[in-house]
Amino acid sequence: MSAILEITPEHAHQRALHGALLIDVREAHERATGMAEGARGIAQGDLQAEPTAHLPALDREILLICQSGKRSLDTATALHDLGYTRIASVHGGTTAWRAAGLPLVQPLQSDDERDFNERYSRHLLLPQVGVAGQQALLGARVLLLGAGGLGSPAAFYLAAAGVGHLRIADDDVVDRSNLHRQILHTDASVGQPKVLSARERLLALNPRLDVDAVQARVTSDNIDALLEGVDVVLDGSDNFPLRYLLNDACIKHGIPLVYGAVERFTGQVSVFDAGRQRGHAPCYRCLFPEPPPPEFAPNCAEAGVLGVLPGMVGLLQATEVLKLLLGIGEPLVGRLLTFDALAMRFREIRLAPDPACPVCAPGQAFPGYIDYTAFCSSS
């Protein structure tokens, strides 16, 4: 049973008015949403690491508050063990303080700090992300090839997650037939270049991002420039020549490629990182040494696609991008995840690198870009 006194927010408020030291032990980004009036903000870790720097008198009346009461109770117990004799924890924390209608104050913040703390508050609570991880996302650069079915949901969630620099390349314009799956665009966007429509919607969601809209067909001539400074590439293309070009270029530059594809009611996702992990991770050519004949791989315009399916696959791709940028979890390297919407079933297929791959085999010099349209047409 805890030896620490737990008091109500009302009691804590009265004690603080009579000289008790009220300390909010939450992190700075948590305090940004509002602090108990009169509280000092000292994060739990800082307070426990150097208690005497903040609390020189062992007999001072100290009241600790957090979000729900758990961290403040744990901190109070630790301080009690160090000899602090007049210490209590606010039961229910700031949540109970707010519910009781007690006064709250907003800490002094710049506009940028307030936007950061409020917008990414749920990320900041995750130990795997936190402030450092969120700042890393803001500094990251992602290239999205295509602002269509896969690029739309992926771009929305990467922008919302705070990936600070998004470069979107697509030479197409919005058609009304796109709208049932390409959620970046609206009916008012019909006839507008997709990258400009995408940029407008993404900045409306998160205006502090850098969105580079490249209205151009991606070819061997401009792929190197598009990849300059990029951390991860997301493949939202819908044709084999571009997929092979992306694969080869990402191997050349040592950039991970997050692959996705959809057809009718099925989709697939993988991460190809052979440029950084030669001999250990496969590339797209290891999975498809040669493109299938066109009749066995129709695009959405020819075969159709269930409107929600690109959303499923695009979100999986965005998840893999965030994992790669944060260095967390187990990316889909060496694994192909397939999804059957009609059966609502996922299946994982293990992929091994091809030791004879003409592009990613260990020791293999980059052979240069080829005529990918001719290569895919020759199958």
Same-domain status, 93 and 184: no
At 1, is the pLDDT very low, low, confident or very high (cuts 50, 70, 90)? Answer: very low
Q: What is the pLDDT of residues 327-376, one digit of tens each?
A: 999 999 999 999 999 999 999 999 999 999 999 999 999 999 999 988 88
pLDDT at position 108, please? 81
For residues 268 and 337, the answer to whether their CB atoms sit within 8 Å is yes
Assess contact for 183 and 197: CB atoms under 8 A.
no
| Whether residue 209 sits in one domain with residue 77 | no
What is the pTM for the complete model shown? 0.86
Residues 66 and 164 both lie in one domain: no
Q: How far apart are CA 318 and CA 184, in angstroms?
A: 15
Instruction: Name the amino acid, one letter, at 51.
Output: P
- Is residue 176 located within the same domain as residue 241? yes
Determine the average pLDDT of the residues in 292-320: 82
- The verdict on residue 124 lying in a domain is no
Tell me which of 108, 123, 152 is where a domain ends: 108
- Say which CATH number the domain at 356 has: 3.40.50.720
Query: Which residues span the domain enclosing 336?
Result: 140-377
Nearest to 72 by CA among 56, 54, 93, 57: 93
- Residue 294: its pLDDT value, please? 62
Cα–Cα distance measured from residue 96 to residue 113, given in angstroms and rounded to the nearest whole number:
26
How many Å apart are CA 285 and CA 364, to the nearest integer?
14
Domain boundary among 108, 130, 165: 108
User: Going by DSSP bridges, is the β-strand pair 335-340/266-272 parallel, antiparallel, or unpaired?
Assistant: antiparallel
Amino acid at 331: P
Establish if 360 belongs to a structural domain.
Answer: yes
What tens digit of pLDDT does each residue of 221-271 get?
999 999 999 999 999 998 999 999 999 999 999 999 999 999 999 999 999
The tally of domains found in the chain comes to 2
Residues 6+ positions from 16 with CB-CB distance below 8 Å: 22, 36, 37, 38, 39, 63
Residue that is last in its domain, among 108, 130, 157: 108
What are the start-end ranges of the H helices in the chain?
A: 9-17, 28-31, 44-49, 51-54, 70-81, 93-99, 111-119, 121-124, 130-139, 151-161, 194-205, 223-226, 240-253, 284-287, 300-303, 309-326, 372-377
**Residue 211 and residue 94 share a domain:** no
Q: Is the domain of 63 the same as that of 144?
A: no
Give Cβ neighbours of residue 320 (< 8 Å, ≥ 6 apart): 258, 269, 271, 331, 332
Write the pLDDT tens digit of every residue in 57-73: 999 999 999 999 999 99
CB 73 within 8 A of CB 2: yes
Judge if 269 and 334 occupy the same domain.
yes
Please report whether residue 59 resides in a domain. yes
Q: What is the CATH number of the domain that holds 36?
A: 3.40.250.10
Residue 358 and residue 262 share a domain: yes
Instruction: Say if 335 falls within a structural domain.
Output: yes
Q: What is the pLDDT of residue 344?
A: 96
Q: Return the closest-CA partner of residue 233 out of 224, 241, 66, 195.
A: 224
The proportion of the chain whose per-residue pLDDT surpasses 70, expressed as a percent, equals 97
Same domain, 81 and 194: no
* 132 within some domain: no
| Domain-located, residue 125 | no
pLDDT tens for 122-179 read 999 999 999 999 999 999 999 999 999 999 999 999 999 999 999 999 999 999 999 9
The average confidence (pLDDT) of the chain is 94
Q: Does 17 map to a domain?
A: yes
- At residue 203, φ and ψ (nearest 5 deg) are -70, -25
Cα angle 228, 163, 219; round to 5: 35
For residues 162 and 137, is the Cβ–Cβ distance under 8 A? yes
User: Quick check: is 118 in a domain?
Assistant: no
